[in-house]
Amino acid sequence: MNILRFSAIAAVAATVALAGCSETTSPQDRSAGTGALVGAAGGALVGQAIGRNTGSTLVGAAGGALLGAAVGTAAAPRQQQPGGEMCRYRDRNGKIYIAPCDERYYSGRY
């Protein structure tokens, strides 16, 4: 086993081990991490299948990780704020303020 392959396997193992230690509390963070991991694995497989060399595998893994993290973040459920969903309103004088959403927002009378 050559030194490059051994160092790559060690780097992947260290990354996976350290990623397991991170404490993420929001569903978006967990979903982004999972998406990045799945995307990196899929991208590495596609890169290896297309390019048949290490460079293509690394580029595919990086691209897959970015795309997977973006999709995972977008697909995650959003956290509700303590006061509920916040909306922007404009008062009679034109001043814009932010307050919890109510019937005015959903009926278009804001």
Q: pLDDT by residue for the chain (110 residues), tens digit each?
A: 577 666 667 666 666 656 665 565 567 777 888 888 899 999 999 999 999 898 889 999 999 999 998 888 888 766 655 656 778 888 888 898 888 877 766 676 65
CA distance 46 to 55: 12
Cα–Cα distances (Å) from 98 to 68, 83, 101, 108, in that order, read 33, 11, 9, 15
Parallel, antiparallel, or unpaired: how do β-strands 86-90 and 96-100 relate?
A: antiparallel
pLDDT of the residue at 15 = 67
Per the structure block, which two tokens stand in for 4?
Answer: 């490059």
- Predicted pLDDT of residue 2: 73
pTM: 0.53
- pLDDT the model gives residue 67: 92
The whole-number pLDDT of residue 19 equals: 63
Q: Under a CB-based contact definition with an 8 Å cutoff, are residues 67 and 39 in contact?
A: yes
pLDDT value for 18? 60
Residue 49 CB-half CA count within 13 A: 6
